[in-house]
Amino acid sequence: MNAVGIDVSKGKSMVTILRPFGEIVSRPHEVQHTTDQVDQLVQTIRSLEGETRVVMEYTGRYYEPMARWLSDAGLFVSVVNPKLIKDFDNDSLRKVKTDKADSEKIARYTLDKWPKLRKYDHTDGLRSQLKTMNRQFVCYMKNRTAMKNNLISLLDQTFPGANTFFDTPARSDGSQKWVDFVYTYWHVDRIRKMSLSAFTDHYRNWCKRHDYIYQPDKPAKIYKSIKSIIPVLPQDDVTKYIIRQAVEQVNSASVAVETLRTRMQEVASQLPEYAAVIEMAGVGPTLGPQLIAEIGDVTRFSHKGALTAFAGLDPGRNDSGSYSQKSVPTSKRGSSALRRTLYLIMSVLIATRLQGDPVYDFLDKKRAQGKPYFVYMTAGANKFLRVYYGRVKEYLGSISNIETE
């Protein structure tokens, strides 16, 4: 038995090799993430007598090059949750946190948990791409929200309330009517210097140029609402530049979001479980790819509880003697990105009130019992994952049977 503990960091790793009873095969040493040094590590591991297992932690994206390279080389690789390593073998009063100490600890963990180690199986290219795109999608969404909030704060100094004139939904390219409106009418005085009839003609032509539906009563409503507005910034070229630059930033972020949304749908639709996932209540063309991206291949989970634990939604237990705590918080040790997606799905179910859906009925039951918001949302997400696991596994099984026939 050879236990290879690897503490992975950006661009390099610390490697320790141990055998049972504390025998040191290789003391902690640094390995750069280059083909030469990793190949040398592979040759060293292959030269060891007996069975060898390599263990490392999930550390963002840093672990993936090492895990993939060693796995493709035919070695047994296991990637474990850092929380398990942190809680393991804490029998010292000293607090030591170094790469060398961590690699030794991982090697000891490998020896202790040898029979329970699960072999690493990196997802295929499509799933990896989809997960990366989802993380970018969430980042771009945050940026777009920040850009919109910045634009609104600027408009409060030139055209307060301009963002409330229209409730038209965003187009497929991400553009919105109120954003395009303030690009042209970037200052309230641009409208107030016109007569109502002149503004009406100007607005009608603007709608025609931008392919928006013209509402005859809209110009009068806007004109009436801006009579008492007091702008802070003057109507000059500097203010015009500030507002229009902010609008361009919003439009640029919107294009990136919508383009990525479309590409995610294209990639997700090529995965076998897409048809089953997209039919689930609360899951649409946006949340569906996000859900698939964060869960990955559902067949790698041995049972429903493993999936809920991966999401950090598994309920804890706190019993001691005759005491038994009735309500215990969830672990929240899993994927925060997956929990975020699940909460969005729960919000959709609540908003649409899909009677007859088992997850919504469960949510509604918990709300009727007077449960707090986060309690029934978390319980609903847990329920949804269990339904997801059953339906997707059944669907994939039926596809497999058809292919074999």
Report residue 197 as tokens: 């009839």
Yes or no: say if 231 and 158 are a contact pair by the CB < 8 Å rule. yes
Distance CA 57, CA 78 (A): 8
Tokens encoding 168:
């038209």
Rounded-to-integer distance, Cα 368 and Cα 374, Å:
14
| 405 residues of the chain, pLDDT tens digit each | 898 888 888 888 889 999 888 888 889 899 898 888 989 989 998 988 889 999 988 877 788 888 888 888 888 988 888 878 887 877 665 676 788 888 888 888 888 888 888 888 766 668 888 998 999 999 999 999 999 999 999 999 999 999 999 988 888 888 999 999 999 999 999 999 999 999 999 999 999 999 999 999 999 999 999 988 889 999 999 999 999 999 999 999 999 999 999 999 999 999 989 999 999 999 989 999 999 999 988 888 888 888 888 888 877 666 666 666 666 667 667 788 899 999 999 999 999 988 888 999 999 999 999 988 888 898 899 999 999 999 999 888 887 666 555
Instruction: Give, in order, the Cα–Cα distances in Å from 164 to each of 156, 169, 186, 216.
Output: 12, 13, 14, 18
Q: How far apart are CA 148 and CA 179, in angstroms?
A: 9
pTM over 0.85: no
CATH classification (class only), 2-122: alpha beta
In the 8-state DSSP scheme, what is residue 315?
A: B
- Give the tokens for residue 146: 């920040």
pLDDT at 201: 95
3-state secondary structure of 26: strand
Label residues 281-315 b or e (16+ Cβ within 10 Å = b): bbbeeebbbbbbbbbbbbeebeebeebbbbbbbbe
